[in-house]
Copies of this chain bind each other. A is one copy, B any other.
């Protein structure tokens, strides 16, 4: 008998591939644990993160189709429950109030236990910080009893900020390391779906190994640190509530 109230999570990704590099392990791990993980891709990253395709002379629709296809394949590999492509365009990403309300509706529909999105500062990529700003705004609206009264209002899910490229430049400081060793092969396979960004496969494999080193150091180091081959790091926006330290 399926879980009557499955646990859920929501990733809000500015461009099609961000959810793969930055939290593919978290998605696969929670999927394996029985979570239904929804991914909201606000754009396909068609203009700004598909250089190889443009160099090959593709047109916009073709680039989007290829990127959508890659995202769908990666999502399938990771065990994503639902991939919602908003197709809003990128570089720059823009959201009308209606687009935001669509995101609010998705949040309410998913009722996530936690959310994942980008760092709050990114001078290289203003789409990223815009996405997080909207994620906070949408989370607030979803919590309002007066927004679409009658719908189930949102609780207070954590918003984890996943790892940006060049972490130190973004002022991103991870406070949580997640062991993704059990699902590493899935993350690697999902990354390999992204054919336009081959150079990042090795890069994010390195990142996962380094975060595993940090996991070990912070779980006990040379005196009791648990083994871990691959990990991902996250920064929490909100405090957590516990019954034991």
Give the B-binding residues of A (Cβ under 8 A): 9, 26, 29-30, 33, 46-48, 50-51, 54-55, 60, 63, 90-92, 94, 97, 100, 114, 123-127, 133, 136-137, 140-141, 143-147, 149, 152-156, 158-160, 165-169, 171-179, 199, 202-203, 206-207, 209-210, 213-215, 217-226, 228, 231, 233-234, 236-245
Contact = CB atoms under 8 A, between A and B. Distances in A.
B223 A176 contact: no
A139 B175 CA distance: 19
Contacts of A124: 140, 217, 238
Given A91-B144, A168-B174, A239 B223 contact: no
B218 A239 contact: yes
A60 B133 CA distance: 27
Given A145-B50, A243-B178, A220 B97 contact: no
A217 B154 CA distance: 12
Contact of A179 (B127, B137, B243): B243
Contacts of A50: 145-146
A245 B160 contact: yes
A148 B53 CA distance: 14
Rank and list the top 10 A-B pairs by shortest CB-CB distance, nearest first.
Answer: A47-B146, A155-B220, A54-B145, A155-B224, A48-B144, A219-B241, A91-B144, A51-B145, A206-B206, A153-B223
Contacts of A199: 213
Contacts of A203: 209-210, 213
8 contacts: A47-B144, A126-B137, A126-B140, A153-B223, A167-B167, A175-B239, A177-B240, A228-B241
A166 B214 contact: yes
A98 to B, nearest CB: 13
A223 to B, nearest CB: 4
A110 B51 CA distance: 21
Contact of A221 (B127, B155, B245): B155
Contacts of A173: 168-169, 171
Residue from A63, A175, A215, A237 whose CB has the most chain B CB atoms within 10 Å: A175
Given A168-B167, A169-B173, A210 B206 contact: yes
A214 B239 contact: yes
A140 B91 contact: yes
